[in-house]
Amino acid sequence: MLSSHFRAAPSPSHPLALLVGSGAALGATGKALDKTSGGAITRAMGHAGFKGNAGKTLTLIGLPGITHSHLILVGVGEGKKITRKSLEEAGGHAVATAQGARVKQLDIVAELPAAGKLTAAELAAHLAFGAELRTYRFDKYRTTEKPEDKPTLGALTMVTAKPEAAKKTYTPLRALAEAIAHTRDLVTEPANIIYPKSLAAECKKLEHLGLKVEVLGEAAMKKLGMGALLGVGQGSAQESHLVVLEWRGGKKGEKPVALVGKGVTFDTGGISIKPSGGMEEMKWDMAGSAAVIGTLRALAARKAKVNVVGVVGLVENMPGAEAQRPGDVVTSMSGQTIEVLNTDAEGRLVLADALHYTVTRFQPKVVVDLATLTGAIIVAIGSSRAGLYANNDRLAERLYEAGEATGERLWRMPLGEDYDAMINCDIADMKNISDGREAGSVTAAQFLQRFIGKTDWAHLDIAGTAWSKKPGAITPRGATAFGVRLLHDWIAKHYE
C-alpha cells in the first residue's frame, strides 16, 4: 500500500487527477488548465459524454499546452452530496484509473468545483485514505511476476492549499489504513501460515503499540470449562488459542466496549466435511477475528481515548481420529450443554465460549461480535451488506448509521422466541443447528444470544462481505477487512 505526500503545488510533469462535479464542473485548477489548453478539457468531456457523475473517470493524454502527461478526470457527482466516503471512493477511482494507464506517479488535486461542508484538510486527507486503500496488494508469494506485469504506480501526492493541516488530519487515517492493510494480510494468508498459534503471535507483536495482549492455550481454556470452543479444535494438530487484546486509552475504571471475533483459521467442516470445490476459501473463516485485531490496532496506533477489549477465539476445524463427532454433547463455559449435530456449524461453538468469557470477565458496556458465520446470510441478503442482529434498537441504529457513513453496510435481521425455539434439543440444552434449512443465519444468531445474558449486544454475520470476488472503489479483489472502518468509526463517534 502506498502512502501519500501533501504539497501545495503539483509537479508540472506528473499525471494529474482532477475532481469533476455534476454538469462537468471543474475546480479552479481544472479551469485554469482548460484555459491553457484552449478549452481542450471541456471539449473532450463533451465528446466523451463525461458529466462528472460519481464513479466515472475520463483519461486525457498529451493535451496541447499542458505539461502534465495525463489528466485523469474523476467524477464526484453533486456537490451537496459529497461526503468523506464519496471522497475516499474518488481517491480509489483515481488510483485505479492511473494504474490502468500504467503511470508511475500521480498527483491528485484536492479541490472541488464548489465549497462544501468539508474543510480543505479533510478533503485532501480522505482522498489520500481512499487512494491508498485501493493500492493495497498482497504480493508476498509472487516470485516470478514479470516487471511489466507489476503495478507501476510508486508515488501519490495530494495537492492542497493546506498541506500542513491536511497532514494532521491524515495521520490518524493513515493509522487506520495500515490497520486495514494488516487485516487484509491476515485474512489472505493461507492456513499453513496463519493458524491459531501464529495468529496469536501476530497479536503479541502489537504490544509495542501499548496494547495488552494475553494468550490462553488449551490448558487454560480447559480450566475455564470452555468445552464448546475446545471441541471444535480437538481434531486439529494445531493447539487452539483465545487471545485478549486490551486498549485502555479511556478513563480509568470505565467499563470497556468489547469486540469478539470468530477466528477459525481453516474450516474443513470437520467430520461433517465440506465439499472440496471452493474449500480453499475457508482460510478466511478467521476474518471476524482479523477485523477485531485490526480495529484494536487502529485505536492503539492513534492513542484513542477509549477503553476497548478484543477477544478472538482461534481454532482450526479439522476431521481426524480425535475430531468431535456429530451427536457429541459438549458443555460450554456458561454451563449450558450443546448437542453438536453438525460439526460444520462450528463458529457459534467458538463464539459461545468467547462471548460468555467476555461478558463475565469484563462486564462490557456493549459487545459486538463479528463472524463469517453462515452461508445462509449470503442466500438472504447477498454480499453487499453484512447481517446485523442486536438486542438493543439504539445500538442497531448506531451501527447501521456507521455502516452507511463508511460504506461497510449492514442490514438488520430479526431475533425472537419463535426462532430461539428452533434450536431446542431433546437431550441437551440446545443443538447447534436447527432442523431443515429455514432461517439459517437467524438461528445461528439466536444460538449466540443464549450466551450473552443481559449485556447490550450486536452480532455481524460477515460471511458475504469478508471477501470480494470483484474490486470495490477502495478495496481490491480479495480480503476487504470488512468491519474495521465500521467499528472504528462507531467507537470514535459514540464512545471516545
The answer to whether 461 contacts Mn ion (rule: CB under 5 A) is no
Which is nearest to 342 in space by CA: 277, 270, 281? 270
167 in Cβ contact with 129 (< 8 Å): no
Using a 10 angstrom Cβ sphere, with 0-12 exposed, 13-18 middle and 19 or more buried, the burial of residue 328 is middle
* Sole binder of ligand BES in the list 375, 382, 453, 471 (CB under 6 A): 375
* Sole binder of ligand BES in the list 267, 339, 369, 489 (CB under 6 A): 267
**Minimum distance, C-beta of residue 267 to ligand BES, in the bound complex (Å):** 5
- Residue pointed to by grid coordinates 491508498: 132
289: its cell numbers: 477475528
* Sole binder of Zn ion in the list 45, 133, 153, 264 (CB under 5 A): 264
Size of the site for Zn ion (CB under 5 A): 4
* Sole binder of ligand BES in the list 312, 359, 463, 473 (CB under 6 A): 463
* Sole binder of Zn ion in the list 10, 52, 347, 364 (CB under 5 A): 347
**Minimum distance, C-beta of residue 372 to ligand BES, in the bound complex (Å):** 4
The answer to whether 107 contacts Mn ion (rule: CB under 5 A) is no
The three-class DSSP label of residue 57 is strand
The binding track of 418-437 with respect to ligand BES, each residue x by CB under 6 A or -, is ---------------x----
Size of the site for ligand BES (CB under 6 A): 14
The answer to whether 113 contacts Zn ion (rule: CB under 5 A) is no
Kind of pairing between the strands at 257-267 and 70-77: unpaired
Of 262, 297, 348, 485, catalytic? 348
Q: Closest residue (Cβ) to ligand BES?
A: 375
Q: Is 398 a catalytic residue?
A: no
Q: Is 274 a catalytic residue?
A: yes
Counting every residue written for the chain, the total comes to 496
Kind of pairing between the strands at 410-412 and 366-371: unpaired
Of 7, 51, 204, 274, catalytic? 274
Which is nearest to 19 in space by CA: 6, 9, 28? 28
* Sole binder of ligand BES in the list 240, 374, 465, 475 (CB under 6 A): 374
Which is nearest to 347 in space by CA: 271, 469, 464, 433? 433
- Residue 374 or 475: the one with the smaller Cβ distance to ligand BES is 374
- Residue 396 CA to chain centroid, in angstroms? 18
Output the CA–CA distances (angstroms, integers) from residue 348 to 20, 262, 338, in the order listed.
Answer: 48, 8, 11
Q: Closest residue (Cβ) to Zn ion?
A: 267
CA-CA distance, 234 to 243, in Å (whole number)? Answer: 18
DSSP 209: G
- Residue 89 or 267: the one with the smaller Cβ distance to Zn ion is 267
Residues that bind Mn ion (CB under 5 A): 267, 344, 346
Residues that bind Zn ion (CB under 5 A): 264, 267, 285, 347
Q: Which residues are catalytic?
A: 274, 348
